[in-house]
Structure 1
Amino acid sequence: MLIGSKIITYSPAFTLVPTYECFNRCAYCNFRVEPGQDTWLTLAQAEAALKPLQSQGIIEILILSGEVHPQHPQRSPWFERIYDLCELALTMGFLPHTNAGPLRYAEMARLKTVNVSMGLMLEQLTPTLQQTVHRHAPSKVPALRLQQLEWAGELGIPFTTGLLLGLGETTQDRIDTLEAIAQTHQRYGHIQEVILQPHSPGQQQQWQGAAFSPQELVEVVAIARQVLVPSIALQIPPNLLSSSHLLECLAAGATDLGGIGPKDEVNPDYPHPHDAGLANVLQQAGWHLAPRLPVYPQYETWLSSSLQGAVRRWRDQLKQWHPQVQYPEAVRSSSAL
């Protein structure tokens, strides 16, 4: 920690998108293109994009992809491209984190070997959204996504999940979803952070739903902090909030601002703030913005020895860059697999 300041963390990140094509048609999506209408990212293109970042303090490479149907002939090439991108990021000195929609158990197990953490938004457990915004989104079936959290726990994968807010769910729906996350974490101890993502209208979406109320987000943060154990970080997106509402969320219990990079691929109409400017706003309110790794210290021993080595190198680097911040050391967990 930093004497005289409260710490708020973020991940210096860059996003690689293997493909924007997706067989889901979520009514609020500003990310997807139709299957077969996108040219996939090549390894050469990815390497060219990553090379300049090696000297810019970027740590996390988020592999964020549209989804290829599990039964489609392109599913295997799609998965191999994701795996190869993770491997490339590692060889170039970065730490990969993959969020590519629901995966098979074997796919998750294989990606564990080249990711320091993984993620999937639970979104909302209520089935009513399958009659509205998720009517044409087969992989948004709540039970399917909850199963992913279970499998991640069984496999010992440090995991990020979260809620999408303002899609037509009720307050009780949000509480039910948070409680489901808490129960899964109680069994496996693998949820490192929960994202609270407010719906923010974009230019590409079909659904005409209003933006989620920032004041209501503050209330959800407070509820989440009561439902979830303190070791689970609560993440809010700084590009979707005014400075005043951001500070209110921090006061209510939010602890992290997620990956900050050149572009928010999920919400492309809302640019990320520059970390230096954001740090200044927070500093004036008594907060210190500190970079972190995409895997939290208590989960480092869950990783393979080679991944642990890569994480240690970055943790040592952070200590050199930010000597005023006392970064926690890796903690051996009895839940490690």
Structure 2
Amino acid sequence: MDTNRKSFKTSSKIVTYSPAHTIVPTYECFNQCSYCNFRTDPGKSDWLSLDTAKEQLLQLQSQGICEILILSGEVHPNSSRRQAWFKLIYDLCELALSLGFLPHTNAGILSFKEMKQLKAVNVSMGLMVEQITPKLLQTVHQHAPSKVPEVRLQQLKWAGELQIPFTTGLLLGIGETIADWRETLEVIAQVHQRYGHIQEVILQPHSPGTLQAMALPGFDLQELPKVIAFAREILPPEIAIQIPPNLVVYPNLLLACLEAGARDLGGIGIKDEVNPDYPHLHSQHLSDILALDSWQLVPRLPVYPQYYTWLSGELQAKYQTWRDRILKANKEASQSHAIL
């Protein structure tokens, strides 16, 4: 563990992010998590049309955005609208690919069959484990059937079986303990050691918003560097630790998080749909903050290079095109080739 920690302190001061844009097929969700600032009730919001999505994406083609995050509320698996919901997500991924982007889908709980189908049109996918302690089913997840820990872990394992490059993470400050952090991180590490498919683990502090159902206190941000160091000791070194910079509101704290072992800032776009009260910082603003301690912010792709062979031929071609663009953009970064 000590050697692992030392390697992060002495490694090159490179921090990555993905130039991204989020597309939301629907905000409706059958879960009712107490802290959620994203969802609407089923039937209370229109679904995104492909025509509208195409208009949005066409405007982004000249803005250097490589990742399209397909982020959706969940339609119940037994709903008569489930098939239409899944088709919309699949079609949005196909549309993004056809316009030259790299899709990454996070649509909650999916079946093995659905994941297998989406693998063909996504370079990577994701699902937050959040916390695996069952006690949260009596509190913040009391009305959230898809937050059953075994269900979420099953999807993590299916992603490994299907060789889907995957992002997962912990939500901090929703009623869990330090022991719960350890248990969740250890399970993630164990699943990765079996399949080798987890690219990143997000450590996301719960940040109160204006739309959540219950007035929950936010996570103590001063504790975040300690959690990062804690996670760095447990997770395999090849898994990047990601933090959302718009939720880490103090420059000195952001720098402390990097010193503790965080190396990625996730997808940065116009709006954080999950935390709409916390706007994304512009990448140049972040670069200026990081430069205060000699960190360099460089763009990356939504799929890490070690997973290139897991992609289909079509996705490999898209990857290569974007890889060349990113390498060119990073040509002054001394370790750009090592990253990509």
Q: Describe the shift of the 1:91–1:182 C-alpha distance in structure 2 as closer, same or farther (beyond 3 A).
A: same
* Map of 2:4 onto structure 1: none
Task: Look up the equivalent residue of 1:48 and give its one-letter code.
Answer: E
SS at match of 2:61: helix
Q: Distance in 2 between matches of 1:155 and 1:324?
A: 36
Q: Distance in 2 between matches of 1:312 and 1:149?
A: 27
* Map of 1:25 onto structure 2: 32
Question: Is it true that 1:137 corresponds to 2:141 in the alignment?
Answer: no
* Map of 1:289 onto structure 2: 297
Question: Is it true that 1:266 corresponds to 2:278 in the alignment?
Answer: no
Q: Distance in 2 between matches of 1:120 and 1:201?
A: 21
How many residue pairs are counted as aligned between the two chains? 328
Contact 1:300 1:330 in 2 (8 A): no
Structure 2 matches for 1:224-243, cutoff 5 A?
Answer: 224-241=231-248, 242-243=250-251
SS at match of 1:84: helix
Task: Could you tell me which runs of 5 or more consecutive residues in structure 2 were left unpaired when the two chains were aligned.
Answer: 1-10
Q: TM-score, normalised by structure 2?
A: 0.95
Task: Could you tell me which runs of 5 or more consecutive residues in structure 1 were left unpaired when the two chains were aligned.
Answer: 332-337
Task: Give 2:109's match in structure 1, choosing from 84, 102, 107.
Answer: 102
Task: Give 1:9's match in structure 2, choosing from 16, 30, 33.
Answer: 16
Question: Is it true that 1:327 corresponds to 2:320 in the alignment?
Answer: no
Q: Describe the shift of the 1:231–1:18 C-alpha distance in structure 2 as closer, same or farther (beyond 3 A).
A: same
SS at match of 1:55: coil
Contact 1:61 1:94 in 2 (8 A): yes
Question: Is it true that 1:218 corresponds to 2:225 in the alignment?
Answer: yes
CA-to-aligned-CA distance 1:291-310 (integer Å, 9 cap, x gap)? 00000011111100110110
SS at match of 1:15: strand
Q: Distance in 2 between matches of 1:148 and 1:328?
A: 32
Question: Is it true that 1:81 corresponds to 2:88 in the alignment?
Answer: yes
Task: Give 1:256's match in structure 2, choosing from 261, 264, 271.
Answer: 264
Question: Is it true that 1:171 corresponds to 2:178 in the alignment?
Answer: yes
CA-to-aligned-CA distance 1:178-223 (integer Å, 9 cap, x gap)? 0000000000000000000000000011222211011211111001
* Map of 1:317 onto structure 2: 325
CA-to-aligned-CA distance 1:261-317 (integer Å, 9 cap, x gap)? 000000000000011111011112110000000000111111001101100100001
Q: Distance in 1 between matches of 2:262 and 2:232?
A: 8
Task: Give 2:46's match in structure 1, choosing from 28, 32, 39.
Answer: 39
1:327 deviation in Å? 3.1
Task: Give 1:200's match in structure 2, choosing from 199, 204, 207.
Answer: 207
Contact 1:90 1:96 in 2 (8 A): yes
SS at match of 1:79: helix
Q: TM-score, normalised by structure 1?
A: 0.96
Q: Distance in 1 between matches of 2:281 and 2:293?
A: 17
Task: Look up the equivalent residue of 1:250 and give its one-letter code.
Answer: L
Question: Is it true that 1:307 corresponds to 2:315 in the alignment?
Answer: yes
Q: Percent of aligned positions with the same letter in both sequences? A: 64
1:5 deviation in Å? 6.2
Q: Distance in 1 between matches of 2:24 and 2:233?
A: 35
Contact 1:221 1:253 in 2 (8 A): yes
Question: Is it true that 1:70 corresponds to 2:77 in the alignment?
Answer: yes
Contact 1:22 1:66 in 2 (8 A): yes
CA-to-aligned-CA distance 1:108-148 (integer Å, 9 cap, x gap)? 00000000000000000000000000000000000000000
Task: Look up the equivalent residue of 2:50 and give its one-letter code.
Answer: L
RMSD of the TM alignment (CA)? 1.3
Q: Distance in 1 between matches of 2:255 and 2:271?
A: 22
1:322 deviation in Å? 1.9
1:330 deviation in Å? 9.4
Contact 1:161 1:191 in 2 (8 A): yes
Q: Distance in 1 between matches of 2:308 and 2:207?
A: 34
Q: Describe the shift of the 1:330–1:291 C-alpha distance in structure 2 as closer, same or farther (beyond 3 A).
A: closer
* Map of 2:6 onto structure 1: none
Contact 1:194 1:233 in 2 (8 A): yes
Task: Give 1:279's match in structure 2, choosing from 287, 297, 304.
Answer: 287
Q: Distance in 1 between matches of 2:266 and 2:102?
A: 15
